[in-house]
Amino acid sequence: MEDWNDLLKASNVKKKDLNLLVLNYLVTEGYKDSAVNFMQEAGIPSKNDIAFIERRKQIRNSIQNGDVKTAVEILNDLDPEILDTDPQLFFLLQQQKLIELIRDDNVLEALRFASEELDKSGAENEAFLEELEKTMSLLAFKNNKLSPVGYLLDMSQRQKIASQLNSAILASQAQEKNPKLPLLIKMLFWSQEQLSEKISFPVIKNIYSADLHESKENSDGESPL
């Protein structure tokens, strides 16, 4: 363990690279205030993409609040070609709008919206039709949260759509859709798992404490997260 710690301390990891890794996460995930403060504290020059964070944040907040209409308006103002060139994303937003109508128990408007706005998409795409039917099945239950697809009403559904929108905006700006930090963490635990099958060495079991443990202790199935 002592030798391993000495090797880690001797590793040449530049603070600048670590700072850029953290900034990449903050910018990609839309934490504008944190990104600006971090750049100031770390002495990192201002990035042009910081200006877009606020718009992405507004879109994310609108979706998470169930206001799909506002999210679409901001998105079209930011880049009207995103939805024009991505029919799947457009359908997902329309589907989410339908979900919000059902959540508000606005049955008549939900039926009208589905028939006028979504039926055509379903007829042209079998996958879209399946999703539409799944969403409409929520109406078959008095308490639609008890439906087999009641998960569509969970906050996680809104978060999923918000994340897909965020990725689409980043892609349209030729930016990375996903932050590097979570990927590196996954690679760390995958590498440890592969290597521990061959040799014994200190491993990180918890990313928050980053304490080192003997690799044999990692066989108890404890989650690294």
So where are the chain's domains?
Answer: 1-47, 50-172, 179-225
Higher pLDDT, 88 or 53: 88
Residue 171 has pLDDT above 90, yes or no: no
Higher pLDDT, 223 or 49: 49
> Amino acid identity, residue 167?
S
Residue 217 has pLDDT above 50, yes or no: no
The DSSP secondary-structure symbol of 45 reads P
| Helices (H), ranges, the chain | 2-10, 15-29, 32-42, 50-64, 68-78, 81-84, 87-103, 107-113, 119-124, 126-136, 155-172, 180-196
Residues 111/119, Cβ–Cβ less than 8 Å? no
The reported pLDDT for the residue numbered 108 is 95
- Indicate the pTM of the whole model: 0.68
Across 153-171, average pLDDT:
93
Across 47-71, average pLDDT:
87
User: What's the rounded Cα separation, in Å, for the pair 58 and 51?
Assistant: 12
Residue 218 has pLDDT above 50, yes or no: no
Residue 89 has pLDDT above 90, yes or no: yes
User: What's the rounded Cα separation, in Å, for the pair 89 and 87?
Assistant: 5
CA 161 vs. chain centroid, Å, equals 8
The reported pLDDT for the residue numbered 223 is 44
The pLDDT confidence band at residue 221, using thresholds 50, 70 and 90, is very low
User: What's the rounded Cα separation, in Å, for the pair 206 and 53?
Assistant: 30
Residue 156 has pLDDT above 90, yes or no: yes
The pLDDT confidence band at residue 219, using thresholds 50, 70 and 90, is very low
Distances (CA, A) of 56 to 34, 38, 74, 104, 207: 15, 19, 9, 26, 28
The pLDDT confidence band at residue 49, using thresholds 50, 70 and 90, is low
User: What's the rounded Cα separation, in Å, for the pair 16 and 82?
Assistant: 34
